[in-house]
Amino acid sequence: MIETRKLTCIDCPKGCQLSIETDNGKVMGISGNQCKKGEEYAKQEIENPMRILTTTVIAEGLPLKMIPVRTSGPIPKAKLKEAIEAARKTKITKPVQAETIITKNFLDLGVNLIATREILA
């Protein structure tokens, strides 16, 4: 099925309005972009959108109730829900620093779940 989709490129603050021809979810042509990054953005965003997840996990026995975490890199947008459920079940019981790995190879997505702040005992 051939469709035209509109996207705003968010690679830089210019925010070019892209018009993308797609055929069964595959990008066929792009217009409206002012640079090559727009093309890459549109292709990624249409074919496999990726997002960084930032959320909090429960802390136990530490001076904070919640500890902010993130994925060390972007994960498929379609996996966000599953990822947040997994983060919700995670607990931190030992002091951490920013970048301490909480879960290695989080959900087999090739990224780690890492803390984003320090918390001492």
Partner 1 sequence: MIKRELIVVGGGPAGMAAALSAYENGVKDILLLERDQFLGGILNQCIHTGFGLQHFKEDLTGPEFADRLIIKIKAIKADKAIEVSLQSFVVKLTDRKVVTYLKPGKFEEVQAKAIIMATGCRERTREMIPIPGDRPAGIFSAGLAQKMINIEGWLPGKEVVIIGSGDIGLIMARRFTLEGAKVKAVVEIQKESRGLVRNIVQCVQDFDIPLYFRHKIKRIIGHDRVEKVEVVAVDENLNEKPETAFDITCDTVLVSVGLIPENELIEMAGAEIEDLNTTSIPGIFSCGNSYKVYDLADSVTRDSEKAGKQAAEYLKRI
Q: Does 77 bind partner 1 (CB under 8 A)?
A: yes
Q: Does 10 bind partner 1 (CB under 8 A)?
A: yes
The pair phi, psi for residue 23, each rounded to 5°, is -125, 110
- What would you report as the CA-atom Rg of the chain, rounded to the nearest whole angstrom? 19
Nearer of residues 21 and 116 to partner 1, judged by Cβ: 116
With H, G, I as helix, E, B as strand and everything else as coil, classify residue 121: coil
Q: Does 78 bind partner 1 (CB under 8 A)?
A: no
As a whole number of angstroms, the distance between CA 18 and CA 9 comes to 7
Q: Does 3 bind partner 1 (CB under 8 A)?
A: no
Q: Does 118 bind partner 1 (CB under 8 A)?
A: yes
Site map for partner 1, 24-63, x if CB under 8 A? -------------------------x-xxxxxx-x----x
Contact between 47 and 35 under an 8 Å Cβ cutoff? The reply is no
- Quick one: 48 exposed, middle or buried, by C-beta within 10 A (0-12, 13-18, 19+)? exposed
Q: Does 8 bind partner 1 (CB under 8 A)?
A: yes
Residues in touch with partner 1 (CB under 8 A): 8, 10, 13, 15, 49, 51-56, 58, 63-66, 68, 70, 77, 80, 84, 97-98, 116-118
